Amino acid sequence: MRPATEALIVIDVQNDFCPGGALAVAGGDAIIPRINGLLGEFPVKVLTQDWHPADHSSFAANHGAEAFSMTEMAYGPQVLWPTHCVQGTAGAAFHPALATDPGDLVIRKGFRAGIDSYSAFFENDRSTPTGLEGYLRTRGVTALTLVGIATDFCVAYSALDAARLGFAVTVLEGACAGIDLNGSLAEARAEMRAAGVALEH
């Protein structure tokens, strides 16, 4: 067992991000057995869930736009995604192979229609908090290991925010799956490295 100061953060292992889902990420389901094993090693375990209302502003269909095109939001550029992880749908549920019972906390994000939320810590304006920082700090956590989907979006944004907040951050890339949209994976890895995030396999 890892020390009491270490938390595992499992990002968005949901049906829509796995093969067959609305925003399927290649290999999204293949990482699940490893994650299930890791859940037994950490004293603090948090699962996140992307959780959008049907009228969410990150959905291309709500703009009459092509999926994976770009738009400009008040907080900066935003990818327009296929409709995914709509609250209460099967696509938003955790993948059935994921062992969710060991989780201490499920944190939902992206529930405000007007703003996307990749990070487990802040909305995409990088300032509206989800509350996860307070949860981790009040439990005495100082070091985080991040796994899940997608390496270059929700995992990377979470890792960068966590590093900025002063947590020691490791991303286990072998337990992550990436989207890789227009070089986003290489860019995310470079940004994480520059921020002092440890990229391990």
The footprint of ligand VGL (CB under 6 A) covers 12, 17, 50, 81, 118, 149-150, 153-154
- C-alpha–C-alpha distance, residues 14 and 10, integer Å: 11
Active site residue 85: no
Question: Which residues of the shown chain bind Zn ion in the complex (CB under 5 A)?
Answer: 50
Q: Which does 42 bind (CB under 5 to 8 A by kind): ligand VGL, Zn ion, none?
A: none
Q: Select 63 or 137, whichever has its Cβ closest to ligand VGL.
A: 63
Active site residue 12: yes
For residue 58, the minimal CB distance to Zn ion (Å) is 6
Active site residue 45: no
Q: Select 43 or 82, whichever has its Cβ closest to ligand VGL.
A: 82
Q: Select 91 or 103, whichever has its Cβ closest to Zn ion.
A: 91
Which listed residue (45, 109, 116, 152) is catalytic? 109
Which listed residue (18, 85, 152, 154) is catalytic? 154
* Residue-by-residue DSSP string for the chain: ---TTEEEEEE--BGGGSTTSTT--TTTTTTHHHHHHHHTT-SEEEEEEE-B-TT-TTBGGGGT--TT-EEEETTEEEEPBPS--BTTSGGGSBPTTS--TT-SEEEEE--STTS---SSSB-TTS-SB-SHHHHHHHTT--EEEEEEE-IIIIIHHHHHHHHHTT-EEEEEEEEEE----TTHHHHHHHHHHHTT-EEE-
For residue 104, the minimal CB distance to Zn ion (Å) is 23
Q: Which does 12 bind (CB under 5 to 8 A by kind): Zn ion, ligand VGL, none?
A: ligand VGL
Q: Select 136 or 150, whichever has its Cβ closest to ligand VGL.
A: 150
For residue 155, the minimal CB distance to ligand VGL (Å) is 7
- C-alpha–C-alpha distance, residues 48 and 121, integer Å: 10
Residues serving a catalytic function are 12, 109, 154
